[in-house]
Amino acid sequence: MTFLEYGSDLVGSIRVPASFCGVYGLKPSAGIVPLSGFGPPGVPPTLTESAYMSSLGPLGRFAADLRTALRVTAGPEAPTAYTWALPRSRRTRLADFRVGYVLDHPGAPVSSEVGALLSDAVDALAATGATLAEGWPGGVEPVREAESFGVFLCPSNFTPAFPHDARPFDQRTILTPECERPYTDQPFWISHASLPGLPAVVEPVGRTPAGLPVGAQIVGPLYEDDTAITFAELLGDVVGGYERPPL
């Protein structure tokens, strides 16, 4: 309903809605946007081991809007004590990027309607001259060392938006063209950036035959949020980016 908004992301609460709604969303590097004042009034909740993964980040119609919002909101809570600036992107042309990508995994198989759009996006990226490497970095688990690439491209979810299911979480399911899947399969793809605290941008890459938006997830190096944002900005020029929804 607005041109730019802020949300929180622990288990994909920025990235998944951005993908479902066809807009851009950024989960910043862990800790660069202060969390003070974000919670409800009263005694702050007890911090848990996963608290470091919670990030505040922007959602908007264009990748450049994410950069503007981050420059305004990121930084220390006490700016008179020290300062912070958003590091520049490693690259400024798609042809100069080295990009790792994974489009599917047995842990959360991607539906055919999502996979087709992601594959088209990779083909468009290859045509720009970017260096592509398919698969997770050799000898590591999927959630480790993704920062060894300039950026890492993967799904944001295995499915586009789906009808609401009011049953308890452990009973909810999602119907894909291939099969019925557990609702709880959704966190798989977003966890790869959340666990190590890496920045991740979700970018619209097209619509399914039913007209539902699909987003790709672009994971960048730690504290180099502008590398992921710049890559998304450039990729939008070849895959279309934000599209106004039909009225």
The one-letter amino acid at 245: P
Output the pLDDT for position 35. 83
Q: What is the pLDDT of residue 139?
A: 62
pTM of the model: 0.91
Across the range 182-199, mean pLDDT stands at 90
State how beta strands 24-27 and 200-207 pair.
antiparallel
* Lowest mean pLDDT across 52-56, 68-72, 106-110, 156-160: 52-56
Mean pLDDT for 47-74 is 87
State residue 2's pLDDT score.
Answer: 81
Percent of the chain whose predicted confidence (pLDDT) is above 70: 88
Q: Is the pLDDT of residue 34 over 70?
A: yes
pLDDT at 148: 47
- Tell me the average pLDDT across 140-166: 76
Average the pLDDT over 43-59 and give the result: 75
Percentage of the chain lying above the pLDDT 90 cut: 70
pLDDT of residue 116: 97
Q: 149 falls in which pLDDT band (50, 70, 90)?
A: low
How much is the pLDDT for 98? 94
Summarize the confidence of residues 83-108 as an average pLDDT: 93
The residues near 106 (Cβ < 8 Å, ≥ 6 apart) are none
> Residue 205 above 80 pLDDT?
yes
Full set of structural domains in the chain with CATH: 23-31+56-74+86-239 (3.90.1300.10)
- Evaluate whether 136 touches 154 at the Cβ level (below 8 Å): no
